[in-house]
Structure 1
Amino acid sequence: MKRIISILLLLFLVFLAACTDGEEEDKEIISSPKDQEETHEDDQAQQSTEEDDKERSETESAEPVDKIQEEPKYEIAEDWSITPINGQANEQVVLLTIDDAPDDYAVEMANTLKELDVNAIFFVNGHFLNTPEDEEKLREIHEMGFVIGNHTYSHPNLREISEEEQTEEIISLSDRVEEIIGERPLFFRAPHGANTDHSNQIVKNEGMAVMNWTYGYDYFEPYMDAEKLTTAMITGEGPEVDVPYSLLKPGANLLMHDREWTAAALEDIVTGLQDKGYEIVDPNLIRTN
Structure 2
Amino acid sequence: MKKTVAILSSVFLLAACQDTTDATQESVVNEESGQTQVSTVESVESEAVSSEVQEDVAYEYEINPDLYTVVPIDDADTEVVLLTFDDAPQPPNSYTLDIAQTVQDKGANAIFFVMGQFLEEPEAKEIIKTVYDMGFEIGNHSYSHPDLTTLTYEEQLAEITKTSDLVEEITGERPRFIRAPYGSYNSETEAIADGENMTIMNWTYGYDWVDGYMEEDAIADIMINAPELGSGGNLLMHDRQWTSAAISRIIDGLRDAGYEMVDPTLIASPEEA
What is the TM-score with the length of structure 2 in the denominator? 0.81
Q: Note the C-alpha offset of 1:69.
A: 2.0
Tell me the equivalent position of 2:71. 83
Q: Which amino acid aligns with 1:82?
A: V
1:257, 1:115 → 2: CA distance?
19
Match of 2:153 in 1: 163
Q: How far has the Cα of 1:53 moved from its partner?
A: 4.5
Divergent runs of 4+, >2 A: 48-59, 62-67
Greater fraction helix: 1
Alignment of 1:136-215 (within 5 A): 136-215=126-205
Aligned CA-pair RMSD: 1.8
- Aligned-residue identity in percent: 45
Amino acid at match of 2:55: I
Superposition deviation, residue 55 in structure 1: 4.5
* Amino acid aligned to 1:267: S
Residue matched to 2:45:
60
Aligned equivalents of 2:136, 2:122: Cα separation in 1: 20
1:157-195 CA-partner distances (Å, limit 9, x unpaired):
112222221111001111111111111000000000001
Bigger relative contact order (CA 8 A; separation at least 6): 2
The CA distance in 2 between the partners of 1:166 and 1:205, in whole Å, is: 13
Which residue is 2:243 aligned to?
262
Matched residues in 2 for 1:70 and 1:170: separation? Answer: 25
Alignment of 1:100 with 2:87, yes or no, is yes
Partner of 1:18: none
Q: 1:201, CA displacement in angstroms? A: 0.6
Structure (1 or 2) with the larger CA radius of gyration: 1
CA distance in 2, matches of 1:66, 1:278: 30
Gaps of 5+ in 2: 1-30
Q: Kindly tell me the number of residue pairs found equivalent between the two proteins.
A: 234
Write the deviation string for residues 186-208 of structure 1: whole angstroms up to 9, x where unpaired. Answer: 00000000011101110111000
Residues 105-114 or 65-74, more deviating: 65-74
* Partner Cα separation in structure 1 for residue 263 and residue 51 of structure 2: 21
State the Cα distance separating 1:51 from its structure 2 match. Answer: 5.5
Change (3 A) 1:107 1:49: farther
Counterpart of 1:89, as a letter, is A
Task: Please report the TM-score for the alignment, with normalisation by the length of structure 1.
Answer: 0.77
Shift in CA distance, 153/55, structure 1 to aligned 2, threshold 3 Å: same
1:69 correspondence with 2:50: no
User: How far apart are residue 266 of structure 1 and its match?
Assistant: 0.5
CA distance in 1, matches of 2:71, 2:167: 28
